[in-house]
């Protein structure tokens, strides 16, 4: 078995280190099925100074989620160099400050469970222990889940990713199965190709009208990507409810 998943409570602590001193440094940056969330792409394309269209073309592969029918985006790994991440260097990650949420969460996995009766959402964590990883073998100060979340600056990522979980849940409940090609393209644009969606938002008054967006929000969305993404997520929910 290559990986072991160990449930851990939010009040529990663990010891883990990932530095150049660890023998496996950078090994986890190869040959992965690295799904990128919309907020991951937002941060990465900003970090690299690229518009979303150029970033998506250069670094990602577009797919359709087999369970949800929603468009998904995966990181494109370098086939010529042992399937390494395009952002990894001998000294570490060159986009570390804006690295994807799954990278900054590691060695944890975070999962949500929503109670359908109460609507309350519970958060669960598990430690991932992989055969190649030596991060647990090195002496490190014990750190709690909350401290790890704070230290890795995960809060904004978690918030935006939770909004996506709401989209997935809504899609499964209200519009199960494959999506019409046109709707799938609209969803892809609103979630991932933000710069394209910004133009659509300006050109199609229906979006601002149906979402009841005020002038201040529309003006902010012209230059603020997180605001634009929140609008995009709201628009996707609207498309699912009233395709």
**Is the full-model pTM beyond 0.95?**
no
Tokens read off for 156 = 């904004």
Torsion of CA 162, 167, 168, 174, to 10 degrees: 150
CA–CA distance, 243 with 236 (Å, rounded to integer): 9
The predicted structure's pLDDT at residue 243: 64
Averaged pLDDT, 183-205:
95
Sign, Cα dihedral of 193, 112, 32, 133: positive
> How many other C-beta atoms can be found within 10 angstroms of the C-beta atom of residue 16?
20
In the numeric block, the tokens 């937002």 are attached to 42
User: Among 23-27, 193-197, 228-232, whose mean pLDDT is lowest?
Assistant: 23-27
Torsion of CA 19, 21, 22, 24, to 10 degrees: 90
Domain boundaries in the chain?
3-154, 163-241
Q: What is the pLDDT of residues 136-156, one digit of tens each?
A: 887 678 999 999 999 999 999
Residue 153 gets the label, from left (phi > 0), alpha (psi -120 to 50) or beta, of left
The predicted structure's pLDDT at residue 196: 96
Q: What is the pLDDT of residues 177-191, one digit of tens each?
A: 999 999 999 999 999
Residue bearing the bigger pLDDT, 76 or 2 = 76
Q: What is the pLDDT of residues 11-52, one digit of tens each?
A: 899 999 888 888 888 888 888 889 999 999 999 999 999 999
The predicted structure's pLDDT at residue 1: 46
Q: What is the pLDDT of residues 122-136, one digit of tens each?
A: 899 999 999 889 998
Residue bearing the bigger pLDDT, 62 or 243 = 62
């Amino acid at each position: 078995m290559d990986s072991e998943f160990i449930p851990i409570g939010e009040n529990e602590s663990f010891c883990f280190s990932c530095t150049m001193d660890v023998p496996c440094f950078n090994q986890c940056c190869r040959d992965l099925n690295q799904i990128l969330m919309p907020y991951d792409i937002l941060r990465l394309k900003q970090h690299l100074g690229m518009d979303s269209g150029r970033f998506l073309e250069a670094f990602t592969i577009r797919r359709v989620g087999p369970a949800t029918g929603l468009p998904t985006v995966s990181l494109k790994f370098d086939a010529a160099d042992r399937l390494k991440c395009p952002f990894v260097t001998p000294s570490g990650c060159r986009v570390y400050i804006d690295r994807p949420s799954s990278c900054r969460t590691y060695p944890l996995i975070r999962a949500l469970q929503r109670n359908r009766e109460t609507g309350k959402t519970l958060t669960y964590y598990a430690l991932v222990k992989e055969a190649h990883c030596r991060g647990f073998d090195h002496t490190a100060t014990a750190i709690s889940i909350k401290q790890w979340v704070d230290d890795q600056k995960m809060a904004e990522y978690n918030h935006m990713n939770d909004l996506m979980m709401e989209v997935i849940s809504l899609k499964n409940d209200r519009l199960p199965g494959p999506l019409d090609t046109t709707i799938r393209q609209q969803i892809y644009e609103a979630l991932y190709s933000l710069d394209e969606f910004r133009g659509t938002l300006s050109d199609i008054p229906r979006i601002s009208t149906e979402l009841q967006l005020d002038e201040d929000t529309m003006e902010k969305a012209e230059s603020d990507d997180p605001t634009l993404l929140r609008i995009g997520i709201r628009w996707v929910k609207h498309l699912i409810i009233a395709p």
